[in-house]
Amino acid sequence: MVNSRKIILIPGAFQTVRNYGNYNGVDIWLKNEPEKEFSNPDYVIAHSLGVNFALTLPNLKNCKFVFINPVIEKVSFINLIIKDIKFLFLEGIKIEKIVPFSNWIYSFKKCRQLSKINVLEEIKKLPKENITIIKGVKDDYFCDKKSAEIIKREGWRLIEIGAGHDWDQNIAEAVDKIIGEN
């Protein structure tokens, strides 16, 4: 049952855990968020640049990972900003989902720090059977078709769904189904 599992959610850039339903998690994009303990979760759900953060956490090698639209290819911070601008103008995001303006400088610094992580190389260090990647077929910004090809080539479980980059009901249902399977 999903409710009895220890699940940690790490939101995508500039978003908070409350945008993702009833999961517990850490608001890495808020400057005053207290440090949280990540001991022995059953699942780590991470979205977009939140995947980069998840891959820096110690002692999580034995849990299951659900990565949503990860930034598979290493990109410079400038290229990340360009992709983000395209995403904001073409797919969009509701303003109420974005962290308060007072956290933006902190969040930009966090993005810059996390963009230095080589997601592809870090995911390779995890057991393949513990990884599921969800890709929105309309995500042409961060987890695009080329990323899907890399994911397939590496042999990770890939689920492509009718969604864009941002978390939505289709992604939520896919995550719930994955967690319910195990």
CA 8 to chain centre: 11
- Tell the burial category of 55 from Cβ atoms under 10 Å away from its Cβ (0-12, 13-18, 19+): buried
pLDDT tens-digit readout, 117-165: 999 999 999 999 999 999 999 999 899 999 999 999 999 999 999 999 9
Domain CATH code at residue 14: 3.40.50.1820
The pTM assigned to this predicted structure is 0.91
Structure confidence at residue 94 (pLDDT): 79
Name the pLDDT band for 1 (thresholds 50, 70, 90). very low
Residue 122 DSSP SS3 = helix
pLDDT tens-digit readout, 24-80: 899 999 998 766 666 789 999 999 999 999 999 887 778 999 999 999 988 888 887
The CA-to-CA distance between both ends of the chain, in Å, stands at 9
Give the domain extent around 43.
Answer: 2-181
- Specify whether the CB–CB gap between 141 and 165 falls below 8 A: yes
Handedness of CA 128, 83, 168, 111 (dihedral sign): positive
Strands 7-10 and 43-47: parallel
* Cα gap 11→28, rounded to integer Å: 8
Task: Read off the DSSP letter of residue 143.
Answer: S
Residues written for the chain: 182
Q: Name the phi and psi angles at 78, rounded to 5.
A: -65, -45
Is residue 81 over pLDDT 90?
A: no
Structure confidence at residue 8 (pLDDT): 93
Q: Name the phi and psi angles at 29, rounded to 5.
A: -95, 5
Is residue 86 over pLDDT 90?
A: no
Count of structural domains within the chain = 1
